[in-house]
Amino acid sequence: MSASGTPIGTSSGKPRILTGDTPTGSLHLGHWVGSVRRRVEIQPSHECYFLLANMHAFTTRTEDSASIRADTIEIVRDYLAMGIDPQQSAIVLQSEVPAIAELTFLFAMLLPFNRVMRNPTLKTEIELKGMGDKFAFGFPLYAVGQTADILAFRAVSVPVGEDQVPHLELTREVARRFNQVFCGVPTDIEDHEHEQHGGVFPVPVADVGRVGRLMGTDGKNKMSKSLNNAIAIADSAKDVQKKVNKIFTGRQSPTEPGDTSNALFQFVECFIPDAARVAELKDRYARGDNIGDGHIKAEVAEAINALLAPMRERRAQFEGPGSDQRIIDIIMDGTRRANRLCEETLLMAKAAAGLKFWPRQLQLG
């Protein structure tokens, strides 16, 4: 049973979802619109696991393990601020779920190396983060690891931003291939029927939020923890105002007809809740009807601050002395719930792959 008394595993009867975040910095508005808002909406009706992908953070921050640790805790503060409820949803520490690492090794055998390297999200990351050809072997391996993150939970749906869709496609391929190679599922079986035909893994679907890709304040790239173009959930009202003021549009004057497909207008559409006001701003901006970027930015900042104000209040309850330990306790509880499920999956997978020689007994003390 989970802390809330809900049975874990398939027995909860609720569709199961898995998604997560890499502790490479604080969570930002891109996470909110791309994934976390959806998680908060569905957590009462779904069995939810949210993974802190701390092993994956080592792909780019190997020499900074202290920051990975600090950000792991910080991300949980952000989760709690945004409304994730640890009674309903399990918050899980990847490095303490051994089944994920074991499945990664097995799944790496099912994927041609060139197939992994063709993943467009990996290519973009290599380029944007200036990794050249110096990246660790573990960098492409993280894409395989992500398939194990999802499949270890036998999740049916994964709420993610658009950039994660290629990873999901890879996951779907691994699930199909595992089921076909090791469970005898015929190749012409539809994705949603794999389990019925004896497959260990459901073939999961991506659940992309209404805004799959929020732009950063540079006006060019996806808002990203690693690119210094993010508005953090934990930013102060003043910082929000400053960062919104930086959003680059290239427009020169309030009478110049503006392009409403620019980054500033994505913010208008995402964060100003009044649809009539959004339409009015768009119309005046497109016509250059004496409306300056500065004016629009002030309205956007105000709307973002209205969204973040209750989050700041909730976050304050998890700050201060002793709060790190309270957060670790929350993660420990979620990880315990996850391990019951993931160990079950691992046993099923090992049995299917002919790797079960005796019952697993790893109680060490």
Question: Which residues contribute to the site for ligand ATP (CB under 6 A)?
Answer: 21-22, 24, 30-31, 33-35, 160-161, 163-164, 212-214, 222-226
Q: Which parts of 164-292 fold into alpha helices (H)?
A: 165-183, 237-245, 263-271, 275-287
Q: Which residue, 8 or 53, is less far from ligand ATP as judged by CB?
A: 53
Q: Which residues of 150-297 form beta strands (DSSP E)?
A: 157-160, 205-208
- Distance in Å, CB of 57 to ligand ATP, minimum: 8
Q: How far is the CB of 121 from ligand ATP (least distance, A)?
A: 9
Nearer to ligand ATP (CB atom), residue 65 or residue 317: 65
Q: Which is nearer to ligand ATP, 34 or 140 (CB)?
A: 34
User: How far apart are the C-alpha atoms of 323 and 304, rounded to whole Å?
Assistant: 26
Long-range contacts at 178-186 (CB < 8 A, ≥ 24 apart): 178/107, 178/110, 178/151, 178/349, 178/352, 179/203, 181/110, 182/349, 182/352, 182/353, 182/354, 183/352
The least distance separating ligand ATP from the CB of residue 332, rounded to whole angstroms, comes to 22
Which tokens hold the place of 81? 């601020």
Q: Residue with CB nearest ligand ATP?
A: 34
Q: Which is nearer to ligand ATP, 142 or 182 (CB)?
A: 142
Residue (223 or 296) nearer to ligand ATP, CB: 223
CB of 323 to ligand ATP, least distance (A): 22
- To ligand ATP, the closest distance from the beta carbon of 122 in angstroms equals 11
E strand residue ranges, 135-265: 157-160, 205-208
Query: CB-wise, 210 or 356, nearer to ligand ATP?
Result: 210
Q: Which residues contact 307 (CB under 8 A, 6 or more apart)?
A: 32, 271
Under 8 Å between Cβ of 78 and 27: yes
Choice between 183 and 223, CB closer to ligand ATP: 223
CB of 231: closest distance to ligand ATP in angstroms? 10
Q: How many CB atoms lie within 10 A of CB 52?
A: 27
DSSP structural state of residue 273: -
Least Å from the CB of residue 185 to ligand ATP: 28
Nearest residue (CB) to ligand ATP, 174 versus 223: 223
Quote the CA–CA distance of 305 and 239 in Å, as a whole number: 10
* In the complex, least distance from residue 270 CB atom to ligand ATP, rounded to whole angstroms: 10
Neighbours of 132 (CB within 10 A): 8
- Give backbone dihedrals phi and psi of 104, rounded to 5 degrees, phi first: -55, -45
The closest of 293, 295, 302 to 240, measured between CA atoms, is 302
Distance between CA atoms of residues 53 and 24, nearest Å: 9
